[in-house]
Amino acid sequence: MSWLPNDVARRARIAGKIAAAAMLFLMVAFFRTQIMRYQRWVLQSEGNRLREVPIPAPRGTILDRNGKVIAENVVGYTVSVLAQSEDSLRGTLRRLAAKVPLSSLQFDRSMQRFRQAPLRPTLIFSDASFSVVSVLEEHRVDFPSVIILAGPRRHYPNGPAVQPFVGYTGEISEEELSQSQFASYRAGQIIGKGGLEKQYEAVLHGREGSRFVEVDAHGRVVREEGAQARLPAQAESLQTNIDLDLQLFVAKLFGDSLVGGAVVMDPTTGAVLSLYSAPSYDPNEFIGGVSFAYYDSLRNNPNRPLYNKALQGIYPPGSTWKLATAILGLQEDVITTESRMPQQCTGYYYFGDRAWRCWEKAGHGSLTLTGAIAKSCDVYFYQLGLKLGLSRLVAGGAQLGFSRKSDIDLPEEKRSVYPDRMQYFNDKYGERGWTSGSAALNMSIGQGDNAQTIVNMARFYSALATDGAAAKPEIVQRRPERTRIMNLRPEQLADLRTAMIGVVSTGGTAASAALKGVTLAGKTGSAQTSSTGGKGKECDHAWFVGFAPVEAPKIVVSVMLECGGHGYLAARIASAIIGKYLGVTPISLIQTEGND
Amino acid sequence: MRHRGAVSIDWPLVVSALLLSMYGIAIVYSAGQTDIATYVERVWRLQVLWLALGLAGAWAISRLSLRMLEWIAIPLYAATILVLLYLLFFGRGAGTAESSKSWLMVGGVKLGQPSELAKITVVLLLGKFLAASKTPPKSLLDLWRPALVVGVPWLLIIGQPDLGTGIVFIGILFAMLFWSGISWKLLVLLASPIVSLILGGVTQLWGSWFLLLLALVIWYKPYAWEGAAFVAANVVTGVIAPLLWERLRPYQQARLRTFLDPSIDPRRSGYHVIQSQVAIGSGGWFGKGYTEGTQKRLAFLPAQHTDFVFSVVGEELGFLGVTVALALFWYLFLRIIRVAERANDSFSSLVAFGLLASWFVHVLVNVGMTLNLMPITGIPLPFFSYGGSFMLSSWVAIGLLVRIAYEGRGGRHGPGST
């Protein structure tokens, strides 16, 4: 090498400058990273270490009109896993399966949940049993990424009795997650699945809280971070119009043997006091996921407990609909309450090329409108129907609200079947497939193309019970909504009510339903069906819709028994309900009754 | 001459190295403080042991005459080559470099990484050859011996494969050629094939570089054959670059790709460097506190006691801690330049500068890597990264430098002092 002192000194200076430049370069690089971009990296570092664990909010309590609990929250346990990847979740689940029972369905659902929301803890058991929780607590060290949370679990103290209107809750489904109304929801959250729980989901849901756990690079929970927790906020309780005592009474009346439904409401406000569908089922079984065995038993039950008879069931209203025919006749000035029909009832009415039967083979003789209602004389109403004509029946029925929903605040309600215009018949049967005469005959006695829900019949009778304005049925307390649906003079309405008192008086079709000290009014019906009722055979559904006390109505009851046969059976149920609510006892005399 | 048994010590040099070592051990201790304990929790004790052994080694080396070292440079070098050859067939991997064969195992016991020792023997032999001539290498012909001295162990180490250490050897070669006084022209032309190798993957870039090189050759006017040789070398490296790329192991390819853009694979190959940046960046001015780094505690930071030990400094002690560490290195470098400048003879001067070059490349590449300024090559940070061989060889080098300083013009009892 060149060893001249000047050369060496020069090279040493260059080397010193290179070293200085390199060190300064590194310092500047660190300054940029640590000082100038500090915020960005700090955020990433916090995001690395802290994972948000949602704390579900307790759902709002559902109360009856007297503050009694219909739906509440009890302590339940959820088990979740903080997974880094699908592979690590799969591994954890396999190891979990060795310790606690984990079905392949739960396995697949968990994987699915992870894919839907990979950053949230993946829910494994939404309602872990105490034994599962204790096993997992015991093996805490083996499962560092498992999070066991004690959280609110929905509970219905009177499960089967309230199920028909309260519904149940369950985990949000993939399909629901894609709907805009659930835009703010995340996989694994609990939502209302039916009834009030679904209808008032937005009210009952509450605000989810969260806390943070510190995790390491392998997703193991190292410690809990207390400070940044956001507490969940429980929703306010939902005050309903339901009378829980009455609801329990109704459920007990139906018992295990009767199939059908009942809607009880206040005719002046539309407040639904009770709504029941029999047979019912226990919604508590659905919390945290229903078992296959239980669900199968419900699905295979011929009486279809999953099918809400009060809201989803549409049945020909039969003779209960004769009041509608009567109202239309009075409204159109076709008859008065004292009018008699040209032909008296001999048990038959001849029209077209066939004889149309009255249920009373012996015949009713000559009747006024009032008498025809009390005796439920078919022949009278055949003739009234013909006088009105089909088009007035169709338009008038629609006016009375038979072609639409009652608009009760429950999601299950089905729209009634009713011809909303004449074209309906052409569309259904073809232009030559029907005659307006026979259609009018059928319509006049509540048969034919007319099928109503139990709740919609209750709505109709609330107008009859009051001043001709129907009340919108409401489970949850709010301002009553009443709509005038008929144009009758008060004395005409009073006459119709008198006729309906006759139904439950000696000689009426449901005399045994009379109550001591209370004037009851109503109308029986037995609807001929072809194959509904789930029993695979033809049978008659028994109807009764009535109200009491007639002078100042407090309660309207609509009862339908699938394949119940005689309407008076339904009437007895209704009268028991009314008696219970008004605090009176049924007279329960053995009297001669018609079988309609 | 000197007093028997007493070697005066360049205290600033030793103290700065000692401070760096103690700083390093403190960080290695902190690196073991994770929320879920691993074996790393205990390695700081071993590191203390290695430092003690290193100090003893340094003391022993400082007592050896430099003439003796110059004399045994050839046998030492030969032994090194033999060991490296042995490794090529019987070497073992360890830790993060499981598949490479850098570890010497005898009878099931890991003895160490001989490539660390090789750095010193190469520096010694290179110094001996470059010092033999009164003038610096003037042409390619004069360079065959230095190239061979570095080339043979370089190939053996690249074959392990250990690209990082390979880079250090290149750095040593160029630095010592520079220190020998080689002309800038030759140094640039010498470096040109490496530039071609790097740019070879992109045809346009390499084409531009090649035109520039032709201009340089015409400007510098080397011998005709020499110019032809440089051009040819550039053609060859430029052409084989894509082929070499194909030959690289997938993980090596991934490392180079993620160096260019870590976000292409943030979960896997880009993970290390991203997490290292997160750790350093979140340190701020003063850091999260000694042993309190969350990235490290929660195992987001990979190899936190070896390759990414400097990220722990950045996270826990912040910009302040980084500045102190870099300042200590800087001071050490300046001190070694001073030792090289004042050395008594050209051999010891070259050796001092070669050792400096080795550390300089280590620091630049390792620290640069934690911020993604350099590709991840897995070379350790002197005095900081956990590892016995490197701690030991580093302190042996300090011993050598102490001896050079002692014999040089700055030493109290050296021939140059008055």
Average pLDDT over residues A399-423: 90
Task: Answer positive or negative: Cα dihedral of B361, B367, B368, B372.
Answer: positive
**Torsion angle of C-alpha atoms A280, A285, A289, A290, degrees rounded to 10:** -60
CB contact under 8 A, A3 and B285: no
Give the gap in angstroms from C-alpha B322 to the nearest C-alpha of chain A. Answer: 8
CB contact under 8 A, B179 and A11: yes
Give the gap in angstroms from C-alpha B360 to the nearest C-alpha of chain A. Answer: 8
Exposure string of B274-312, with b = 16+ CB inside 10 Å and e = fewer, is bbbbbbbbbbbeebbeebebbbbbbbbbbbbbbbbbbbb
pLDDT > 70? residue A537: no
The highest-level CATH class for domain A51-239 is alpha beta
CB contact under 8 A, A35 and B284: yes
pLDDT > 80? residue A403: yes
Residue of B nearest to A22 (CA): B364
CB contact under 8 A, B136 and A2: yes
Band of residue A531 on the pLDDT scale cut at 50, 70, 90 = very low
Cross-strand bridge partners of residue A240: A476
Reduce the DSSP state of residue A233 to 3 states and report it: strand
The highest-level CATH class for domain A273-281+303-582 is alpha beta
User: In B9-113, which ranges are continuous DSSP H helix?
Assistant: 11-31, 43-62, 66-90
HEC states along A332-345?
CCCCCCCCECCCCE
Q: Is the peptide bond before A549 cis (omega within 30 degrees of 0)?
A: yes
Distance CA(A173)–CA(A184), nearest Å, equals: 14
- Give the start-to-end residue ranges of the domains of chain A: 5-36, 51-239, 273-281+303-582
pTM for the model: 0.69
- CB contacts under 8 A, A 8-47 vs B, are 8-9, 11-12, 14-16, 19-20, 22-23, 26-27, 29-31, 33-35, 37-38, 40-42, 44-45
Could you tell me if A219 and A263 are in contact, meaning their C-beta atoms sit under 8 angstroms apart?
Answer: no
pLDDT > 50? residue A48: yes
CB contact under 8 A, B319 and A22: no
Q: pLDDT per residue over B2-50, tens digit each?
A: 444 566 888 999 999 999 999 999 999 998 888 877 888 888 999 999 9
Give the gap in angstroms from C-alpha A90 to the nearest C-alpha of chain B. Answer: 18
pLDDT > 60? residue B415: no
CB contact under 8 A, A15 and B353: yes
Q: Which range has the worst mean pLDDT, B48-62, B153-167, B218-232, B397-411?
A: B218-232
Contacts of A2 in chain B (CB under 8 A): 134-136, 180-181
Q: pLDDT per residue over A103-122, tens digit each?
A: 888 888 888 888 887 778 88
CB contact under 8 A, B281 and A40: yes
Band of residue A506 on the pLDDT scale cut at 50, 70, 90 = confident
Residue of B nearest to A8 (CA): B341
The per-residue pLDDT for A587 is: 62
The per-residue pLDDT for B107 is: 63
User: How many percent of chain A have pLDDT more than 70?
Assistant: 96
CB contact under 8 A, B364 and A22: yes
The per-residue pLDDT for A62 is: 94
Strand-pair category, A69-81 with A169-171: unpaired
Could you tell me if A79 and A133 are in contact, meaning their C-beta atoms sit under 8 angstroms apart?
Answer: yes
Q: Is the peptide bond before B161 cis (omega within 30 degrees of 0)?
A: yes
CB contact under 8 A, A26 and B281: no
Contacts of A40 in chain B (CB under 8 A): 281
Torsion-angle region of B364 (φ positive above 0: left; ψ -120 to 50: alpha; else: beta): alpha
Say what the ipTM of the complex is. 0.89
Q: What is A110-168 written as a DSSP string? A: HHHHHHH-TTSPEEEEEEE-HHHHHHHHHTGGG-TTEEEEEEEEEE-TTHHHHHHHH--
Q: How many CB pairs under 8 A join A and B?
A: 141
Band of residue B317 on the pLDDT scale cut at 50, 70, 90 = very high
Task: Answer positive or negative: Cα dihedral of B1, B5, B8, B13.
Answer: positive
Band of residue A232 on the pLDDT scale cut at 50, 70, 90 = confident
Contacts of B132 in chain A (CB under 8 A): none
Greater confidence, A44 or B4? A44
Band of residue A595 on the pLDDT scale cut at 50, 70, 90 = very low
Residue of A nearest to B284 (CA): A34
The per-residue pLDDT for A72 is: 93
Average pLDDT over residues B259-264: 65
Distance CA(A444)–CA(A455), nearest Å, equals: 21
Distance CA(A191)–CA(A200), nearest Å, equals: 10
CB contact under 8 A, B341 and A9: yes
CB contact under 8 A, A41 and B136: no
Exposure string of A563-593, with b = 16+ CB inside 10 Å and e = fewer, is bbebbbbbbbbbbbbbbbbeebebbeeebeb
- Mean pLDDT over all residues of chain A? 87
Q: Six-digit token pair at B332? A: 């050490």
Give the gap in angstroms from C-alpha B267 to the nearest C-alpha of chain A. Answer: 10
Average pLDDT over residues A236-261: 92
Q: Six-digit token pair at B257? A: 């790709």
- Is A23 exposed, middle or buried, given 0-12, 13-18 or 19+ CB atoms closer than 10 A? buried
- Is A293 exposed, middle or buried, given 0-12, 13-18 or 19+ CB atoms closer than 10 A? exposed
- Find the length of chain A: 596
Give the other-Cβ count within 10 Å of B254's Cβ. Answer: 17
B42: Cα separation from own chain's centroid: 26
Contacts of B181 in chain A (CB under 8 A): 1-2, 7, 11
CB contact under 8 A, A11 and B178: yes
Average pLDDT over residues B117-123: 91
Distance CA(A345)–CA(A372), nearest Å, equals: 10
CB contact under 8 A, B281 and A44: yes
Residue of A nearest to B36 (CA): A222
Band of residue A230 on the pLDDT scale cut at 50, 70, 90 = confident
Average pLDDT over residues B83-90: 84
Contacts of A22 in chain B (CB under 8 A): 360, 364
Q: pLDDT per residue over B149-189, tens digit each?
A: 999 998 888 887 777 888 899 999 999 999 998 888 888 88
Of residues B178, B318, B330, nearest to A19 (C-beta): B330
Q: pLDDT per residue over A297-331, tens digit each?
A: 999 999 899 999 999 998 999 899 999 999 999 99
Task: Give the contacts of A550 (CB within 8 A, at least 6 positions apart).
Answer: A465, A497, A500, A501, A519, A520, A521
Q: How many CA atoms lie within 13 Å of B117's alpha carbon, on the beta-carbon side? A: 21
Band of residue A591 on the pLDDT scale cut at 50, 70, 90 = very low
Interface test with A, best of B126, B282, B295 (most A CBs within 10 A): B282
